[in-house]
Amino acid sequence: MRHILSILIENEAGALSRVVGLFSARAYNIDSLTVSTTEDPTLSRMTIVTHGSDEVIEQITKQLNKLIEVVKVIDLNESEHVEREMMLIKVRAAGKDREEMKRMTDIFRGRIIDVTEKTYTVELTGTSDKLNAFIDALDRTVILETVRTGASGIGRGERILKV
Amino acid sequence: MQISGAEIVVRCLQEEGVEFVFGYPGGAVLEIYDAIFQQDSFRHVLVRHEQAAVHAADGYSRSSNKVGVALVTSGPGATNAVTGIATAYSDSIPMVVISGQVGTPAIGLDAFQEVDMVGITRPCVKHNFLVKDVNDLAATMKKAFYIASTGRPGPVVVDIPKDVTIAKTDFQYPDSVNIRSYVPINKGHPGQIKKAVNLLGEAKRPFVYVGGGAVLANASEEVRELVRLINAPCTNTLMGLGAYPGTDPQFVGMLGMHGTYEANMAMQYCDVLVAIGARFDDRVISVPSHFLAQPKKIIHIDIDPSSIAKRVKVDIPIVGNVKDVLVEMIAQLKAGDVRPDAEALGNWWTQVEAWRAPQSLWFDQPEDIIKPQFVVQKLWEVTGGDAIVTSDVGQHQMFAAQYYKFDRPKQWINSGGLGTMGFGLPAAMGAQLANPDATVACITGEASIQMNIQELSTCKQYHVPVKIVNLNNRYLGMVRQWQEFFYGNRYSESYMDALPDFVKLAEAYGHVGMRIERPADVEPALREAMKLKERLVFLDFLTDQKANVFPMVGNGKGLNQMDLPPHMRDLQLGVPPYDRDYGNLS
Ligand SMILES: Cc1cc2nc3c(=O)[nH]c(=O)nc-3n(C[C@H](O)[C@H](O)[C@H](O)COP(=O)(O)OP(=O)(O)OC[C@H]3O[C@@H](n4cnc5c(N)ncnc54)[C@H](O)[C@@H]3O)c2cc1C
Ligand SMILES: Cc1ncc(C[n+]2csc(CCOP(=O)(O)OP(=O)(O)O)c2C)c(N)n1
Ligand SMILES: [Mg+2]
């Protein structure tokens, strides 16, 4: 099953490679990984999307916690959470495609952030499923380039992940 | 007063009460060596290969309660140390390895003798540091010792660039460490312990399985008390040997791939298992599904949550230090007076004794050829069971584990997790330096000993009177055994040809060598060697070339499906009625 893990980790050189090394050394899957510093510059927050059986996810969580620099790990799947990912997608927007692209962007509540005579660059935010749906809705031949951030997640309501 | 990074390293080691540093110099650590030259609070032991420095620090640690320390230069010095670090990591041994690094401006430029030590060792250390600023050095050293020795112990590498050893700053060693992201849990959850105690009260066939964690926790007294209190049979893993006394009647021997018949059968057929600082390794329980096919409830005590439910799901996990948890468990047991049912326990013991009766470790010692088991047995007798024994890896290691009855923890020192040939001699060196008055024997094979034979020279320099017991079968015996059992006797590259004359070799290094070819000479040779208290003696025993280690749980087999020694093969070895709820397993 797909799980979203949120990790608070010391913002130190090499900390990220320990996490990534752990996943490859133990043959765990990384579907996506995002990381950046938090409001506290000594801490980074990482979101890892992974999949595996309950046993594997339990081991992943324990192994992450075992890393000296990891402060906290939570499995967002254990309770209500929201998840967002951003995609920048450059599409062909010439002739009859131009109007159609604009329409699709509106339907998906995206924004056109760069325009040339022949292309649009669209910014789209949502769950990973929504981004997939957008890609699926387009004719593959109009897609010139995509870049996605991978999912970030946060618990709903009062639930917080802090030191 | 400001002092250099190199002097800070030395001062930190002094603050930590380090007695010995095992190391080898080179360009990147010349400053540190210069600082070592100018101090006299610890001794530096110059090994002949960096791998041996780490194994020696490891043996030193395993035979004492201290953190081992090794010091190596950058590049090849650092990479040579890696096998030693991985060995310590696999067995959770507390150690600090200091490696030199090229100067910070040169890092990343493919400089001379540059390797990314932090990167190379990342998967085989508990933690590692690259110190880029001399102002962080003392605090980092403090953290290194703290991390290495607390929680689940392990090796920590501190990689120090040369310019950091030259730079100067004020020295202040922190009194304490606080790492917000690292807080080991020692006390077990009282509720979980209560559940465990209640479960023990319901047990009809209790069994106690003790591993290296009990040795690391110095919890032998508590283990003993628990086992006596509930009157259960007890086994030790290869890493746990000595945690429960080997000569005690409640001890049923080591379990696992080369465990005794009674230990493996009890492990398979118990109904309540107490796992204490043991990690259900594949060499212990073989295939998990097979092990669990016989229903049993499991209590698992381990300080590392990731050791719990890794290979086997357990019923009552207790995260904590073995000692703290057992103290609480024993107190609750005593207060509540919960004990296993006496009659059921009596029946269980009758069964265990029936499994023990055929003596799965029995062997025949003919007049003409030395059995390796016989040498170990005699070593045990001659040393009064009191020696510190190290080993290398192979059949001789298993014979040592099976036939030397360890009554104390930290008496048996071997590479279990990584299985590193070449570990025995340097580890013995470290153990002897930690225990100058003890008899230290290194049980080895003619192949393993050659992987770090150069340390005979170190032993000479530092007067380390280790007794080397070479079980010389002219084979990579363990490999040969597998080839005999599973590869149709095709002995591919497992014969040790062109062996040196070990007697002359020992003499060339300035030691005493003896060659023993007849069974009748085994005991006298051992006695003579033990009399040479001040000397390293290399005893080269020519042993049976085709001896095999029994029992053996083959690959993919269950614990109750051992290959048994010849004398047990025709016996009718039944399993009582609880076999029935066991179903059909193949
Ligand atoms: C040729 C060969 C054959 C082998 N055959 C066998 C065999 O037949 N039988 C056998 O048993 N092994 C055998 N081994 C060894 C095997 O590979 C493992 O190394 C060994 O079984 C592991 O022992 P352990 O479970 O006690 O764990 P260890 O590796 O000693 O691990 C200790 C456990 O205790 C925990 N711990 C550490 N400190 C504490 C503390 N203070 N409090 C609580 N918990 C703590 C750790 O987290 C860890 O989970 C063999 C090895 C070789 C090389
Ligand atoms: C460094 C290393 N290389 C290879 C092995 C694989 N291996 C395990 S036991 C063994 C044979 C050891 O031979 P010897 O030391 O003579 O011991 P014996 O089994 O004959 O008692 C080998 C090659 C290992 N454990 N370690
Ligand atoms: Mg051999």
Question: Does residue A21 form part of some domain?
Answer: yes
B87 CB near ligand 2 (under 6 Å): no
> Ligand 2: which of B414, B469, B476, B496 to mutate, most ligand atoms within 8 Å of CB?
B476
* Predicted confidence band of residue A162 (pLDDT cuts 50, 70, 90): confident
B325 CB near ligand 1 (under 6 Å): no
- Mean pLDDT calculated for residue range B512-534: 98
Domain boundary residue, one of A78, A102, A122: A78
Nearest CA in chain B to A56: B310
Chain A nearest C-alpha distance from B94 (Å): 15
Asked whether residue A99 falls in the same domain as residue A122, the answer is: yes
Asked whether residue A7 falls in the same domain as residue A71, the answer is: yes
User: What are the counts of helices (DSSP H) followed by strands (DSSP E) for chain A?
Assistant: 4, 9
B125 touches chain A (CB under 8 A): no
Domain boundary residue, one of A26, A61, A78: A78
Phi, psi of B23 (to 5 degrees): -165, -175
Q: What is the pLDDT of residue B580?
A: 44
Which residues from chain B sit within 8 angstroms of residue A13, using beta carbons? Answer: 130
Residue type, B409: P
Asked whether residue A27 falls in the same domain as residue A71, the answer is: yes
DSSP-assigned letters across all residues of B66-82: S-EEEEE-STHHHHHHH
Domain boundary residue, one of A40, A55, A78: A78
Asked whether residue A88 falls in the same domain as residue A136, the answer is: yes
Smallest-distance ligand from the CA of B90? 1
Which regions of chain B carry the CATH code 3.40.50.970?
A: 3-169, 372-542
A55 touches chain B (CB under 8 A): yes
Question: Does residue A158 form part of some domain?
Answer: no
**More confident: A114 or A158:** A114
Q: What is the pLDDT of residue B4?
A: 98
A14-57 pLDDT, tens digit per residue, is: 999 999 999 999 999 999 999 999 999 999 999 999 999 999 99
Check B306 against A59: CB less than 8 A apart.
yes
B193-213 pLDDT, tens digit per residue, is: 999 999 999 999 999 999 999
* Predicted confidence band of residue B83 (pLDDT cuts 50, 70, 90): very high
Nearest CA in chain B to A69: B181
A42 touches chain B (CB under 8 A): no
DSSP-assigned letters across all residues of B266-291: HHHH-SEEEEES----HHHH-SHHHH
**In angstroms, rounded to a whole number, what is the distance separating the alpha carbons of residues A4 and A57?**
10
Question: Does residue A163 form part of some domain?
Answer: no
Which residues from chain B sit within 8 angstroms of residue A70, using beta carbons? Answer: 181
Which residues from chain A sit within 8 angstroms of residue B126, using beta carbons? Answer: 68
The token pair at B498 is: 């062109």
A68 touches chain B (CB under 8 A): yes
Give me the CATH number covering residue A125: 3.30.70.1150
The token pair at A87 is: 């995609």
* Predicted confidence band of residue B586 (pLDDT cuts 50, 70, 90): very low
Nearest CA in chain B to A71: B181
The token pair at B172 is: 């202040």
**In angstroms, rounded to a whole number, what is the distance separating the alpha carbons of residues A36 and A136?**
29
Category of A14 on φ-ψ map: left (φ > 0), alpha (ψ -120 to 50) or beta: left
Q: What is the pLDDT of residue A159?
A: 83
Helix axes B5-15, B30-37, angle to 10 degrees: 60
B123 touches chain A (CB under 8 A): yes
Which residues, 6 or more positions from B346, have their beta carbon under 8 angstroms from its beta carbon?
A: none
Give me the CATH number covering residue A73: 3.30.70.260
Asked whether residue A90 falls in the same domain as residue A147, the answer is: yes
- Mean pLDDT calculated for residue range A94-98: 91
Check B181 against A71: CB less than 8 A apart.
yes
Q: What is the pLDDT of residue B571?
A: 85
Q: What is the pLDDT of residue B578?
A: 65
- Mean pLDDT calculated for residue range A133-140: 96
- Is CATH 3.40.640.10 the right assignment for the domain spanning B190-356? no
B302 CB near ligand 1 (under 6 Å): yes
pTM (global) more than 0.95: yes
Asked whether residue A127 falls in the same domain as residue A87, the answer is: yes
- Mean pLDDT calculated for residue range B348-374: 96
Q: CA Rg, chain B, in Å?
A: 25
Asked whether residue A6 falls in the same domain as residue A62, the answer is: yes
Kindly give the distance from the C-alpha atom of residue B321 to the centroid of ligand 1, in angstroms, as a whole number.
Answer: 16
Which residues, 6 or more positions from B189, have their beta carbon under 8 angstroms from its beta carbon?
A: B318, B319, B320
B311 touches chain A (CB under 8 A): no
Q: Which CATH superfamily is domain B3-169 in?
A: Thiamin diphosphate (ThDP)-binding fold, Pyr/PP domains (3.40.50.970)
Which regions of chain B carry the CATH code 3.40.50.1220?
A: 190-356
Ligand 2 atom nearest to CA at B448: 15
| CA nearest neighbour of A62 among B281, B304, B150 | B304
Question: Does residue A161 form part of some domain?
Answer: no
Q: What is the pLDDT of residue B572?
A: 79
Q: What is the pLDDT of residue B198?
A: 96
Do the strands A70-75 and A2-10 form a parallel or antiparallel pair, or are they unpaired? antiparallel
Nearest CA in chain A to B131: A13
Percentage of chain B with pLDDT > 70? 98
Number of domains in chain A: 2
Ligand 1 atom nearest to CA at B278: 25
**In angstroms, rounded to a whole number, what is the distance separating the alpha carbons of residues B389 and B379?**
10
The three-class DSSP label of residue A14 is coil
Q: What is the pLDDT of residue A158?
A: 86
Asked whether residue A7 falls in the same domain as residue A74, the answer is: yes
The token pair at A51 is: 């999949």
CA A104, A106, A111, A113 dihedral sign is positive
Domain residue limits at A66: 2-78
Smallest-distance ligand from the CA of B422? 2
B312-343 pLDDT, tens digit per residue, is: 999 999 999 999 999 999 999 999 877 778 99
Which residues from chain A sit within 8 angstroms of residue B310, using beta carbons? Answer: 59
Question: Does residue A160 form part of some domain?
Answer: no
Asked whether residue A74 falls in the same domain as residue A20, the answer is: yes
Burial zone of B212 (CB within 10 Å; 0-12 exposed, 13-18 middle, 19+ buried): buried
* Predicted confidence band of residue B378 (pLDDT cuts 50, 70, 90): very high
Phi, psi of B382 (to 5 degrees): -65, -35
B54-67 pLDDT, tens digit per residue, is: 999 999 999 999 99
| CA nearest neighbour of B547 among B392, B417, B394, B358 | B394
Residue type, B48: R
Asked whether residue A60 falls in the same domain as residue A8, the answer is: yes
Contact call for residues B290 and B581 (beta carbons, < 8 A): no
B180 touches chain A (CB under 8 A): yes
| CA nearest neighbour of A5 among A157, A150, A163 | A150
Kindly give the distance from the C-alpha atom of residue A48 to the centroid of ligand 2, in angstroms, as a whole number.
Answer: 41
Q: What is the pLDDT of residue B577?
A: 61
| Assigned fold of B372-542 | Rossmann fold (3.40.50)
Which residues from chain B sit within 8 angstroms of residue A14, using beta carbons? Answer: 118, 130
Q: Which residues of B are catalytic?
A: 50, 112-113, 162, 478
* Predicted confidence band of residue B584 (pLDDT cuts 50, 70, 90): very low
Asked whether residue A89 falls in the same domain as residue A25, the answer is: no
Q: Point out the residue among A10, A18, A70 whose CB comes nearest to the CB of B122.
A: A18
Asked whether residue A45 falls in the same domain as residue A97, the answer is: no
B515-524 pLDDT, tens digit per residue, is: 999 999 999 9
Question: Does residue A11 form part of some domain?
Answer: yes
Question: Does residue A55 form part of some domain?
Answer: yes
Q: Point out the residue among A14, A18, A71 whose CB comes nearest to the CB of B180.
A: A71
